[in-house]
Amino acid sequence: MIYEFTPRGTCSRKMIVEYEGDKIISLKVIGGCSGNLQGIAAMVKGMSFSEVISRLEGIKCGYKDTSCPDQLARGLKEMELTIK
C-alpha cells in the first residue's frame, strides 16, 4: 500500500510511504535536503511505524519547531489513524 502526505513547515513538499502491515517498505521525499532525506529513507526501510515515530518525533531543524524527520513521524501517526 502507498500513503502520501504533505509535510508542513519544512523544505520537503511531499512524502510517499510504501508499507505493508505496520512496516515501511520504502520512503520517497520530494524536496528538502536530498542527501539527508535519502539517508533517512534508507534507515527507516523495514522499520515499524512505532519505531520510526519514537526515534524521529520532536526533532527540530534550526529555529523551526519541526523538521523533515519530525514531519515523517507526524505523517506516520496520521497514517496509522487513517489505515486502522
Query: What is the DSSP code (8-state) at residue 57?
Result: T
pLDDT at 83: 82
Count the Cβ atoms, other than its own, within 10 Å of residue 73: 21
Q: What is the set of domains in the chain, with CATH numbers?
A: 2-83 (3.30.390)
Q: Which residue has the cell 523495514?
A: 46
Question: Is there a contact between 31 and 11 (Cβ–Cβ < 8 Å)?
Answer: yes
pLDDT at 58: 97
Which of 5, 72, 84 lies closest to 37, judged by CA? 72
pLDDT tens-digit profile, the chain (84 residues): 999 999 999 999 999 999 999 999 999 999 999 999 999 999 999 999 999 999 999 999 999 999 999 999 999 999 988 886
Question: Is there a contact between 64 and 7 (Cβ–Cβ < 8 Å)?
Answer: no
